[in-house]
Amino acid sequence: MNTTTINSSIDPIASQPLAHYSPEVEQRVQQWLASGQALVWIPILSKENFPGVPPQILQFTDQHQEAMRWPIHRPEDLLTLPDGITGWLLPADAEDTDVSCGVWNGEVYILGVKDRRTGRKQTLLGERADAGQSAV
């Protein structure tokens, strides 16, 4: 998977403008946090995040994502995520998301994920179907 960064201005977390900005995703994450609903972060099990882990282990572990949910109750909780690991961000009661999140050097980044081979946007459950398109 290839990550594409987008801007996030989540108060009180400092953020910086990034190359690929998506106001829709930023607004959605802000609404989640402002509503006070519980969120979860699930690490993306990929060679990019875990370069020394054999692919078979990553595939096996991916089947147990439910057990890896990291609770996010306040915006500040995002700063407790492991540095340099990208994960999915979603409301605790949701099943899928197209929002990912990571912390690098104390900065929180909200990201989109694209499949490196196809260039198509991805979600936690697989490839995202855009309006008018069916999922493959």
What are the DSSP E strand ranges found in 47-106? 70-72, 87-91, 100-104
In tens digits, what is the pLDDT along the chain, a chain of 136 residues? 433 333 343 333 444 444 445 677 778 888 999 999 999 999 998 888 889 999 999 889 888 887 899 999 988 899 999 999 999 999 999 999 999 888 888 888 887 777 778 888 888 888 655 533 333 3
40 phi and psi, to 5 degrees? Answer: -135, 155
Task: Give the integer Cα–Cα distance in Å for 106 and 42.
Answer: 18
Determine whether 8 is exposed, middle or buried from the number of CB atoms within 10 Å of its CB (0-12, 13-18, 19+). buried
Q: Which of 39, 35, 9 is nearest to 21 (CA)?
A: 9
pTM: 0.74
